[in-house]
Amino acid sequence: MKFALLDTNFILTCIKQKIDFFEELYLQGYQIIIPDGVIDELKKLKQTSALKLLEKSNFKKITLTGKNVDNAIINYANRNPEIFVATLDRELQKKFKNQKIIIRGKKKLEII
């Protein structure tokens, strides 16, 4: 099984662009992982549509430690190189060597 760790901006962008990322990732054989810090960020941003989507979706919630969510994701990714990280944050992408899941052409998920 492959694992995809999603960050906040990836989730928000997919929702904004109407990409069914849960469906696409499941069809490609990924189990979705979402850090509790990402869920907390969505709550702080009052992203009710994102939170409602998460409530009805199947994913694994994990607790990460770090000064902030990005640092926690970097540390987790570097300790788990088999994890695919779904992020659009270029600065974040530079800080780990894992394969990444990004959005291409505003409608399609791509693994790089």
Bridge partners of 101?
Answer: 86, 111
Question: Domain limits of the chain?
Answer: 2-111
What are 1-57's pLDDT values in tens digits?
A: 899 999 999 999 999 999 999 999 999 999 999 999 999 999 999 999 999 999 999
Q: Could you tell me which CATH class the domain 2-111 is placed in? A: alpha beta
Q: Please state the rounded mean pLDDT for residues 79-90.
A: 93
Residue 66, by phi and psi: left (phi above 0), alpha (psi -120 to 50) or beta? left
Positive or negative, the Cα torsion across 18, 107, 16, 34?
A: positive
Q: Does the pTM of the predicted model rise above 0.85?
A: yes
Instruction: Determine the Cα–Cα distance for residues 92 and 72; give it in Å rounded to an integer.
Output: 11
Sort strands 84-86 and 30-35 into parallel, antiparallel or unpaired. Answer: unpaired
Sort strands 108-111 and 100-104 into parallel, antiparallel or unpaired. Answer: antiparallel
pLDDT tier at 66, thresholds 50, 70, 90: confident
